[in-house]
A = this chain, B = another copy of it.
């Protein structure tokens, strides 16, 4: 089914696409009225052809999925600082070369955290003979002493609840429990993982356990980054599986619970690593850059298929297909495979710093980092008129189910350091409803990515990238961090 749809949007495109942004953009309101007839112009012959040449192969050739297999099965997990992360860099350079896309690496100094032995148990008491915990150190965790540590557990369900306990958590293991049940809950609760252990440590806790941020569980813990302040106290911190969180909660309802924890992780000196940058130079305005980002690193468990192997192969494939067009788009399409999104964002920061002078000419940045699900539509973080400019270009994606303009802030961790430079952000939204079933867990493996979904999102990314690089008009730069294109205020 997927392979037959692309003929439709291309023909629709003949009627619907605009070849130019309105000279004075009409205010973007929701719902948007039909564009005036003058705005509906046909694409040029080259542009029409490009739609077919991008969407068609993306849906039919299976190239992105084959690449994903190379990255996941071949390279495997690739945490920053590891040999495998370096192997991923080499793989990306080789792959771009094979695709005929010019690529190079740019230096990034990354944290080098290494997982070690890890285990824990609810200690035997009058209520239990003891129960092993299925857990996984959080990235950035301090180790326990080699013999482990044992302490009473105190449960909290929010950062506020922790703060309210003050120094009553002293000498305890703080257990961050929550009620994540759907993907949309991630943002609400992720702070307990990223900032909870540091806060608990400041209040005197000896360790932290965090319920995995997950939407499904078969006793599978989900890791993720936790951050400690420079010079602040660091404690061992681990994610427990949802089941183990439920067990801890049940046990705590009945009285005191002690947990024994052994974490052998270690923080090595920062390591030398790289972003991989590749580009297809624009035919008219090569200094204007449409940036497509994804992150090459992954957690050290699973093989990072959804997070973010899928994003990596989508943007690589977009570049490959755009490079094969008979005529390059007006502007430069630049792919950046960022290193260290997961536990430091050093790649995103390094890029923004190294390219600071070019950022005023970065006309759009688009990051794919929400898994390999099917595409849903396009979102924006730009100044006024962005929607009106983009909307007509979405028609070729209607047949993929991705032709919608979705209100809401387009963003991306790795591109966020470009926000102060007011680079417009564009999002190709994918269905992430099952993303957190596997995110940051051992279960994030190739089999979880549906090749049909991946090919559709790849097609959407390729076309949106082309549209951004080809449309005569430019997205207005956002005026503030929350600007997703409302009408300009009247003076």
A74 touches B127 (CB 8 A): yes
Task: Select A445's contact among B216, B247, B251, beta carbons within 8 Å.
Answer: B247
Q: A74-B127, A130-B76, A131-B76 in contact; A219/B84 too (CB < 8 A)?
A: no
Q: How far is the CB of A123 from chain B (nearest CB, A)?
A: 12
A110 at the interface (CB under 8 A from B): no
A119 to B454, CA, bound (A): 32
A76 touches B302 (CB 8 A): no
Q: Scan A300-311; emit 1 where CB is below 8 A from any B CB, else 0.
A: 001100000000
A438 at the interface (CB under 8 A from B): yes
Complex interface residues of chain A between 351 and 391 (CB less than 8 A to chain B): none
Q: Which residues of B lie under 8 Å from residue A445 when comparing CB positions?
A: 219, 243, 246-247
A441 touches B128 (CB 8 A): no
Q: Scan A132-160; emit 1 where CB is below 8 A from any B CB, else 0.
A: 00100000000000000000000000000
A442 to B247, CA, bound (A): 13
Q: A250-B69, A250-B73, A251-B73 in contact; A443/B131 too (CB < 8 A)?
A: no
A268 at the interface (CB under 8 A from B): no
Q: Scan A414-456; emit 1 where CB is below 8 A from any B CB, else 0.
A: 0000000000000000000000011001110111000000000
B219 touches A302 (CB 8 A): yes
Q: Which residues of B lie under 8 Å from residue A130 when comparing CB positions?
A: 76
Q: How far is the CB of A304 from chain B (nearest CB, A)?
A: 12
A218 at the interface (CB under 8 A from B): yes
User: A134, A216, A218, A242 — which one has the most chain B CB atoms within 10 A of its CB?
Assistant: A218
Q: Which residues of B lie under 8 Å from residue A217 when comparing CB positions?
A: 218, 443
Q: A219-B445, A443-B243 in contact; A74/B438 too (CB < 8 A)?
A: no
A220 at the interface (CB under 8 A from B): yes
A75 to B124, CA, bound (A): 10
Complex interface residues of chain A between 66 and 86 (CB less than 8 A to chain B): 69, 73-76, 83-84
Q: A87-B129, A246-B447, A447-B243 in contact; A219/B441 too (CB < 8 A)?
A: yes
Task: Select A128's contact among B76, B442, B446, beta carbons within 8 Å.
Answer: B76
A217 to B446, CA, bound (A): 13
Residue of B nearest to A448 (CB): B243
A482 to B115, CA, bound (A): 55
Q: A219-B220, A251-B73, A443-B217 in contact; A131/B246 too (CB < 8 A)?
A: no
A128 touches B447 (CB 8 A): no
A218 touches B437 (CB 8 A): yes
Q: Which residues of B lie under 8 Å from residue A442 when comparing CB positions?
A: 134, 218-219
A220 to B218, CA, bound (A): 7
Q: A73-B250, A251-B73 in contact; A218/B129 too (CB < 8 A)?
A: no
Residue of B nearest to A303 (CB): B131
A129 touches B437 (CB 8 A): no
Q: Which residues of B lie under 8 Å from residue A87 when comparing CB positions?
A: 129
Q: Which residues of B lie under 8 Å from residue A74 when comparing CB positions?
A: 127-129
A130 to B82, CA, bound (A): 14
Q: A74-B128, A303-B131 in contact; A218/B447 too (CB < 8 A)?
A: no
A247 touches B73 (CB 8 A): yes
Residue of B nearest to A242 (CB): B447
User: A219, A247, A446 — which one has the most chain B CB atoms within 10 A of its CB?
Assistant: A219
A302 to B217, CA, bound (A): 13
A246 to B445, CA, bound (A): 10
Task: Select A438's contact among B218, B247, B438, beta carbons within 8 Å.
Answer: B218
B131 touches A218 (CB 8 A): no
Q: A243-B445, A246-B447 in contact; A129/B75 too (CB < 8 A)?
A: yes
Q: How far is the CB of A129 from chain B (nearest CB, A)?
A: 5
B131 touches A73 (CB 8 A): yes
Q: Which residues of B lie under 8 Å from residue A76 when comparing CB positions?
A: 128-131
Q: Which residues of B lie under 8 Å from residue A131 when comparing CB positions?
A: 73, 76, 303
4 closest Cβ pairs, A-B complex: A218-B443, A219-B442, A219-B443, A218-B218
List 13 interface pairs A-B (beta carbons < 8 Å), by A numbering. Answer: A73-B127, A73-B247, A74-B127, A87-B129, A217-B218, A218-B220, A243-B443, A243-B445, A246-B445, A246-B447, A247-B446, A247-B447, A250-B446
Q: Known A-B contacts: A83-B129, A84-B129. Give 12 more (CB < 8 A).
A: A73-B251, A74-B127, A76-B128, A76-B130, A76-B131, A216-B218, A219-B441, A242-B447, A243-B445, A247-B445, A247-B446, A250-B446
